[in-house]
A = this chain, B = another copy of it.
Amino acid sequence: MRALRLDDEPIVTYDEPEPAPNPDEALIALRLAGICQTDQELARGYAGFRGIMGHEFGGELLTDAGPWQAGQRVVGEINITCGQCDFCLAGIPGHCRQRAVLGIHSYPGAFADRLRLPVRNLHAVPDAIPDEVAVFTEPFAAALQVLEMAAIHPAHRVFLIGAGKLGLLAAQVLRRTGCDLAIIARQSRPIELLRRWGISWLDAREEGWLKAVYRRSAHVVIDCTGNAEGFATALELVRPRGTIVLKSTYAGLPQIDLSRVAVDEVSVVGSRCGPFEAALRIIPEVDVQSMIERIYPLDEALTAFEHATHRGVLKVLLRP
């Protein structure tokens, strides 16, 4: 079958062996897959992954599996867990000590004609949700996770820094809370979408965008930048006893002002994968289809991958 593999660099192969599901796993035909920032970091060496890439997907069952029949459209949670370690038993299986992660860690990914995944990872996609929406389930769940990790109230002032693909999903999640929200953006395309959605933004390319009244004003700041400068801005904006939610990984070990965190009694909270059931319930009420930059056939996966690396480019998808 066809697949986009990461060896020393990403390559498209046409003779990848077919997946051989374990007894608890389903065999899934890909319908649509999404390229994520994490995929690009993996290609640059993050986490040392080798194998078929891809963790954002919607597919269709090739055989009956669990409660569903062949042909059922599904999406899948990306953590493959042991179900037996202390973290699994403590109700945080996403942190399983033995976990593999679809297309990220010790488990072949979704950029292929077919893939396997444990049946318990799967969620049925309702008929009303088209493939072009379902493929956003995984990143939209990750955006929802912001609300799992920080209580955001209607009276709160909230800034989100970094209007990339995940940032735009989180912006739509945050706007639903009714909070006093502004997105700090640097690219024209995302700003265009925010304008259309009626979500406030600040253009960080403009001199003096960080006005004095914004400093130490925010109850919650979400950092979607993944760089030290973004975190430093978050520390400027958050008020004492406020919360900074980290919504991405950072290159290397950034230098950060931990003394400010201590003295201002700020909470810095990490956030990772989110709830799929909730994502499937809410995703019809937000606009993900406007975030599709382009859909490439799987044969052109390398071109798609290159396209997705450009700043300000929205979601690039792969179709078999």
The chain A residues found within 8 Å of chain B, CB to CB, are 87, 92, 95, 97, 149, 216, 231, 239-241, 246-250, 252-259, 261-272
- Docked Cα-Cα span, A247 to B252, in Å, equals 25
Are B272 and A262 touching (Cβ within 8 A)? yes
Q: What is the bound-complex CA distance between A271 and B268, given in angstroms? A: 12
* Residues of B close to A248: CB separation below 8 A: 262
Partner of A246, one of B95, B216, B261: B261
One of B256, B259, B264, B267 near A267 (C-beta < 8 A):
B267
Are B262's CB and A92's CB within 8 A? Answer: no
Residue pairs across A and B with Cβ atoms less than 8 A apart, 9 shown, are A95-B264, A252-B255, A254-B256, A255-B255, A255-B256, A261-B270, A262-B271, A267-B267, A267-B268
CB distance from A254 to the nearest CB of B (A): 6
Residues of B within 8 A of A249 (CB): 258-259, 262-263
CA distance in complex: A264, B246 (Å) = 11
Task: Give the docked Cα–Cα distance between A97 and B217 (Å).
Answer: 11
Given A87-B239, A92-B240, A241-B92: A263 and B259 interface contact (C-beta under 8 Å)? no
Q: Is the CB of B241 within 8 A of A258?
A: no
Closest chain B residue, CB of each to CB of A269: B267
How far is the CB of A270 from the nearest CB of chain B, in Å? 4
